[in-house]
Amino acid sequence: MNIDEFEGIMKKYGQEAVLDKVREMNEKDRSRILKQCDFLDFSFLKALSAKENVRGKIEPIRTMKLSEISEKKEYFEKLGTEAIKSGKVAALVLAGGMGTRLGSDHAKGMYDIGMTKPVYIFQRMFENLLDVVNKTGAWVPLFIMTSLFNDREIKEFLVEHRCFGYDPRYVKFFVQDMSPCVGIDGNILFCKPDEFAMSPNGNGGFYSSMMSAGLDKYCKENGVEYINVFAVDNVLQRIADPVFVGATIDSGCATGAKVVRKADPGEKVGSICLEDGAPSVVEYYEMTDELLQAKDKDGEPAYEYGVILNYLFRLKEMDGIVRTEMPVHVVKKKVPFLQKSDASSTGYVTVNPEEPNAYKLETLTLDFVRLMGSCLPFEVVREYEFAPIKNAMGIDSVQSARKMLLNIGYEL
Ligand code: UTP
């Protein structure tokens, strides 16, 4: 990017103070930072001046419950298996996250949760996907979304482990875009004298980054009609599950969302609902007391199903969703930044904050549920399908996931 373009962008988003700093830099530093700007999405800065996201009218949505699924299981499974065999289904793992809560120095998928032998999070993913390959006799293309921070190590790790037995011809990587991190004062932070602090642009960035990498073309050329998007960190994840695929196709909906009955009303998962009559997801922190206590017509909690970040999206409808439609969420997190210091010979020190000190700008996959227009909420059993690893200990942790794996007889 040249300095004139940069100036235009900084002025557009009220970043004059940052512009002044860049102008004052020596030529070498300035040219480095302008180079970094080529792969930063500054349009996300619009979220800082946007009005607070006001939710529409929230109402309960009908969920396909376990009993109904069990009655039609054979039919759904046949339909889903046919779709997988004819190459209509691909899988996409969101592996671009920073995993800050887990606190590992490496990508989350490389984390070893074994107790007596190595068992990596990525290994669990491939094992789960191989179940479907072995059952249907068809390879499911797997797209792996990485970030600039972990792309190289993920690729090297999977080469070293030979994709845990998965045919590498069906594994495709793409890197998600980055967005700048912003301090509490609204100005973009620096992490080095010649570099802005940046972070991956949220898991909702998968479709635009997939397009930039040409994978939408791959899908069209290879007859892929659905993608199963899922989080890397759920070690019980069922991927390209034929019953789920069949049920979503049968429903005619553009999206299928796997949901679990919430462990308690305040569980930190988004609740599936209708918003102004269309399927949507309300985040746990947006749930009011009224919503938490609401009952449906059968007297059951109205919003008792939570999404587990496992969606089936029909590509036909995704094509129509342009990137600019995606809401950008402003999330307060810990971001290391550069501060002036008389004590340092360079005049600067890097501060590693103990508490959240900055805003990351992210799009979220769950917003596709609303944008896609129709959705089948599909209930799954938590004990078999939902063991997310967010923390080292406690709720949604390595500890809780190990316990769940041991409970289903998996050796760790
Ligand atoms: P989380 O929101 O739990 O984030 O991501 P995280 O990065 O794993 O962990 P924390 O919040 O820093 O502790 C849910 C899923 O979305 C992916 C993650 O890799 C995980 O699979 N993700 C998240 C991305 O692929 N890109 C992102 O920018 C953010």
Model confidence pLDDT, tens digit, residues 112-127: 999 999 999 999 999 9
Taking only the tens place, the pLDDT of each residue in 6-41 is 999 999 999 999 999 999 999 999 999 999 999 899
Within 10 A of 143 (CB to CB), how many other CB atoms are there?
23
CA 93: distance to chain centroid?
Answer: 8
- Closest atom of ligand 1 relative to the 102 alpha carbon: 13
- Closest atom of ligand 1 relative to the 147 alpha carbon: 26
What pLDDT, on a 0 to 100 scale, did the predictor assign at position 285?
A: 85
First to last CA, the chain: 50
> Which residue, by CA, sits nearest to atom 28 of ligand 1?
202
pLDDT tier at 236, thresholds 50, 70, 90:
very high
What pLDDT, on a 0 to 100 scale, did the predictor assign at position 346?
A: 74
Beta strands (DSSP E) in 176-327 are 178-180, 182-183, 190-192, 195-196, 198-200, 226-231, 255-261, 271-275, 278-282, 305-314
Are the C-beta atoms of residues 223 and 86 closer than 8 Å to each other? yes
Residue 16 Cα to ligand 1 middle (Å) = 31
Mean pLDDT of 355-375: 94
Helix segments in 238-366, DSSP class H: 242-251, 289-293, 315-318
Q: Mutual orientation of helices 27-37 and 16-24 as an angle, nearest 10°?
A: 140
3-class SS at 382? helix
Q: Which residue has the higher pLDDT, 296 or 180?
A: 180
Q: Which residue has the higher pLDDT, 344 or 358?
A: 358
- Report the amino acid identity of residue 409: G
Residue from 40, 106, 232 to probe ligand 1 pocket by mutation (most atoms less than 8 Å from CB): 232
Which tokens sit at 262? Answer: 């919430």
Are the C-beta atoms of residues 112 and 168 closer than 8 Å to each other? no
Q: Which CATH number fits domain 66-252+311-369+381-407: 1.10.357.10, 3.90.1150.10, 3.90.480.20, 3.90.550.10?
A: 3.90.550.10
Residue 100 Cα to ligand 1 middle (Å) = 9
Q: Own/partner pairs for 132-135, CB < 8 Å, 24+ apart? A: 132/84, 132/239, 132/240, 132/241, 132/242, 133/166, 135/81, 135/242
Taking only the tens place, the pLDDT of each residue in 366-386 is 999 999 999 999 999 999 999
What pLDDT, on a 0 to 100 scale, did the predictor assign at position 319?
A: 80
Strands 195-196 and 226-231: unpaired
Q: Within 6 Å (CB) of ligand 1, which residues are found?
A: 94-101, 108, 145, 176, 200-203, 231-233, 362, 390
- Closest atom of ligand 1 relative to the 109 alpha carbon: 19
What pLDDT, on a 0 to 100 scale, did the predictor assign at position 344?
A: 74
What pLDDT, on a 0 to 100 scale, did the predictor assign at position 300?
A: 86
Q: Is 261 exposed, middle or buried (0-12, 13-18, 19+ CB in 10 A)?
A: middle
pTM: 0.94
Q: Mutual orientation of helices 242-251 and 121-136 as an angle, nearest 10°?
A: 70
> Which residue, by CA, sits nearest to atom 2 of ligand 1?
97
- Closest atom of ligand 1 relative to the 93 alpha carbon: 21
- Report the amino acid identity of residue 368: F
Distances in Å between the Cα of 60 and the Cα atoms of 293, 301, 367 are 12, 9, 17
pLDDT of 339 over the 90 cut: no
Return mean pLDDT, the chain. Answer: 94
pLDDT tier at 159, thresholds 50, 70, 90:
very high
Mean pLDDT of 143-164: 97
Residue 36 Cα to ligand 1 middle (Å) = 22
Mean pLDDT of 196-209: 94
> Residue 151: in which H helix or E strand, if any?
helix 151-160
pLDDT tier at 322, thresholds 50, 70, 90:
low
Are the C-beta atoms of residues 190 and 197 closer than 8 Å to each other? yes
Which tokens sit at 393? Answer: 């200990």
pLDDT of 347 over the 90 cut: no
- Report the amino acid identity of residue 270: G
The domain ranges of the chain are 1-39, 66-252+311-369+381-407
Name residues whose C-beta falls within 8 Å of residue 214's C-beta, 6 or more positions apart in sequence: none
Which of 77-81, 174-178, 241-245, 266-270 is the least confident region?
Answer: 266-270
Which of 48-52, 194-198, 276-280 is the least confident region?
Answer: 48-52
Taking only the tens place, the pLDDT of each residue in 166-198 is 999 999 999 999 999 999 999 999 999 999 999
Residue 78 Cα to ligand 1 middle (Å) = 33
Which strand ranges, in their side-by-side order, compose the sheet holding 182-183?
Answer: 182-183, 358-362, 329-333
pLDDT of 324 over the 70 cut: no
- Closest atom of ligand 1 relative to the 200 alpha carbon: 28
Give the separation between CA 373 and CA 359, rounded to whole angstroms. Answer: 30
DSSP 39: T
Question: If you compute the radius of gyration of the chain from its CA atoms, what whole number of angstroms results?
Answer: 22
